[in-house]
Amino acid sequence: MNGRDEMLKKVQKLNFVMIDTGLYLNNQPENQAGQALFSKYQALHRQAKEEFEGAYGPLTYGGINTECDGWSWIKNPWPWEVED
């Protein structure tokens, strides 16, 4: 697995934990430990996503900076075009 794949896998894992914790909090919204866990993984996910996007470009529309880059993110290889 190359560096790009490792970084992407990290983003995906953190996103999974954040979603899973969020689903738990939908049923237990007053759980302080759950809220703390969600906040922790939300921050870790944000950081990992920013690191990935800084190195390889945006993962989602939310990562596009049109003021600096225009619509240049489509110039990068699409995920299925990246060679191993």
Question: CA dist 49 to 28, 33, 45, 55, Å?
Answer: 27, 24, 6, 10
Q: What is the pLDDT of residues 53-77, one digit of tens each?
A: 989 888 888 777 778 777 777 777 7
Q: State the DSSP code for 58.
A: -
Any residues with CB less than 8 A from the CB of 14 and at least 6 apart, and which? Answer: 41, 44, 45, 48
What local confidence, expressed as pLDDT, does residue 50 receive? 93
Residue ranges making up the domain that contains 69: 3-81
Average pLDDT, the chain: 88
Distance CA 3, CA 63 (A): 20
What local confidence, expressed as pLDDT, does residue 84 receive? 59
> At 79, is the pLDDT very low, low, confident or very high (cuts 50, 70, 90)?
low
Q: Please give the tally of structural domains in the chain.
A: 1
